[in-house]
Amino acid sequence: MNGTREGHTCVYKYDKYPYHAIGCVSYLWKPETNQDESNLISRQLWIWCHPSCYNELWEELKICFKPENRDSDISELHQQTFSSGEITVISLKDTLNRHRLIGPSSNQILYQVLKPANILKKDASEQWWQKYYQIPSKSLAYTQQGEFIESLDKTPSPGEYTPYSVIGVTVGDPRISRPDRKTKVTKIKDVDTDNTLCYDKLVSDVSMSALWNSDIRQEVKATKMSDQKLNELKSDIMIPGSLADLGIEESRVPVILVQRPGTSGNYGSGWDVILPQNWSMAFWLTFIYHGARAAGSRDLESLAFEQSTTYYPNDYPDTSAGSIHEQKSAEKLKNKFDKRPPAKRCNYVKLGIAAPFIYPWRDLTSSWTDGRIEHIYVLRDRKCLKVLSQMFNANTKSINQQYPNKQWQKTIHRKLEITKESVFEEHKSSLVHVELTMLLRGVPDEHAMICIPVDKDIELLQKDKTYSGPKEPVHKDKNKTQKQKNMTQSLTELKSVDSASCMRKSCSREIIGFVNHGGFSLGSGNGRGQGFCTTKGLQYLSQHTSPFYVLVRNPSSYQYRFAYINII
């Protein structure tokens, strides 16, 4: 609430939890200071969401707050607003920009690009920064923010800072310090071995930023010098390569930095850079010219795969954006399948694949609950996931290791037993996000099936540690004769498993889930995958197999492979 950290959560439709998820959002409170009297009257909260769920979230906010009136006077700013009592909601779409730097070189790139602006010059004309920093507390905060920028050049990784910490700073025009050619990231010369320095710099005042003021944002946008004029001034410099001193004409840009923590070894850590409107390209090009490399959604998805974290909207099948993503992916797979010659297509009927292109979450959940499920949802309750993690995750410490006192052990074990049964019963129509690590060989693909091994499979594995796994028997293709008679008939009609058949028992091993993202992990050096399993299927797995191995079979193969299962 004090504005020094950014929060993250998943939002749902009004009074519909745990069903009808909208998407994941991040939120940030305006820093609270005692010197600023305006903060005693009102507070500001920024909510960031993915573009695919923006309209849905905006409409849901209207339902939640029940707006009394709508203000259309600010239509010139391309904003929407409504108020309900003491709360006013304003859409800041297209008024802020957010860039993300990932990797150990993020600190050095920020140090090269973000040069603290000179805001203490006394000139005849009063600019916004001179008025803003007249307050002693804000002037002191500016000095502390400058010290933080200096510490970036001595810190080897962004993961050394406080997770999700927020730092505000006012910098000069990045176009002035942009090199003529692309350069490599400079290496750190003096590394601070004392990590406490990173935390000492993050006092509460460093989170203050002028970017929260809408009037300042508009002035920064309007007073930006054009590229043509800036290039003309730079061309008049007598010494090539030296920085131009524009004085009062140089723009001062308020910027907010948000730290993003990584996983083990600070892998994937970095910074989010929040900028005012009309300044995105200026910072983007400067980042690139100082050694940053452009990346897209495919790279972010691969990063989330290596980090074993969720990626929106791919890993949110209970949201509208996730459903649309699955539909588009299914259309691409089917079109690619139809383009192949008949002799080169996989006969999914013989392979026993009930859904080669889609993820039948609702049908799979219904087959495990013995009843038609209208809506499915992903289990995100941390307490429930912690209970499941204690059961399945091999890396999770046992209760006896966490609580050395025997009386505590008995109490915790008794509570977990009660909670475990309630989780399986109350959330029987839910899906659980899991991670699969192949035991021996094999690389899981998308739409791979997660199945429960039978007792014979476990016995063969215990006798032979190199046992690769069972094989699926060949299923009979009832449409083979009809296919030969009518080659022009739709493949969907000819090569599909009976929709009325039970999804759970569509092959020789009972299916409890599907892999939605798999491949070879460069971090662990083996095949890994992420997917979703039904809660009732995990309950059945915990009661009938020990240790908790699962079988994974790709849609184009008869071979099952053993894998460990962990709860994400």
Say what the alpha-carbon torsion angle 159, 161, 164, 170 is, to the nearest 10 degrees: -120
| Confidence category of residue 130, pLDDT binned at 50, 70, 90 | confident
Name the percent of the chain lying above pLDDT 90: 53
Lowest mean pLDDT among 30-39, 210-219, 527-536: 30-39
* CATH of region 337-379+427-567: 2.40.30.110
Mean pLDDT (the chain, rounded): 84
Phi-psi region of 406 (alpha: psi -120 to 50; beta: other; left: phi over 0): alpha
Mean pLDDT value of segment 161-169: 93
pLDDT digits (tens, 9 = 90+) for 489-516: 555 544 444 443 588 998 999 999 999 9
Residue 138 pLDDT greater than 70, yes or no: yes
- pLDDT of amino acid 273: 97
Q: Which amino acid is at 124?
A: A
Place of tokens 């309900």: 84
- pLDDT of amino acid 131: 86
- pLDDT of amino acid 76: 40
CB atoms within 10 A of CB 543: 9
Q: What is the pTM of this model?
A: 0.86
Question: For residues 433 and 530, is the Cβ–Cβ distance under 8 A?
Answer: yes
Residue 297 pLDDT greater than 80, yes or no: yes
Comparing 39 with 471, the larger pLDDT belongs to: 471
DSSP string, 275-333: EETT-HHHHHHHHHHTT-----HHHHHHHHHHHT---TTTT-TTSHHHHHHHHHHHHHH
3-state DSSP assignment of residue 454: coil
Most confident of 60-74, 202-216, 247-261, 443-457: 443-457
Angle, to 10 degrees, between the axis of helix 535-544 and the axis of helix 382-392?
Answer: 30
- pLDDT of amino acid 340: 92
Lowest mean pLDDT among 24-28, 160-164, 513-517, 550-554: 160-164
pLDDT digits (tens, 9 = 90+) for 174-195: 998 888 888 888 777 666 655 5
Task: Give the span between the Cα atoms of 33 and 549, in whole angstroms.
Answer: 54
DSSP string, 110-125: HHHH--B-------SS
| Confidence category of residue 75, pLDDT binned at 50, 70, 90 | very low
Contacts of 513 (CB under 8 A, 6+ apart): 364, 431, 434, 449, 450, 531, 532, 533, 534, 537
Lowest mean pLDDT among 31-45, 211-225, 287-301: 31-45
How far is the CA of 144 from the CAs of 167, 168, 207, 388, 541, in angstroms?
Answer: 10, 10, 10, 44, 55
Lowest mean pLDDT among 173-177, 200-204, 348-352, 559-563: 200-204
- pLDDT of amino acid 500: 37
Residue 362 pLDDT greater than 60, yes or no: yes
- Give the residue extent of every domain in the chain: 7-90, 96-233+247-294, 337-379+427-567
Mean pLDDT value of segment 408-418: 58
Residue 206 token pair: 């460093």
Residue 164 pLDDT greater than 50, yes or no: yes
Mean pLDDT value of segment 369-377: 85
Terminal Cα distance for the chain, rounded: 27
Question: For residues 349 and 496, is the Cβ–Cβ distance under 8 A?
Answer: yes
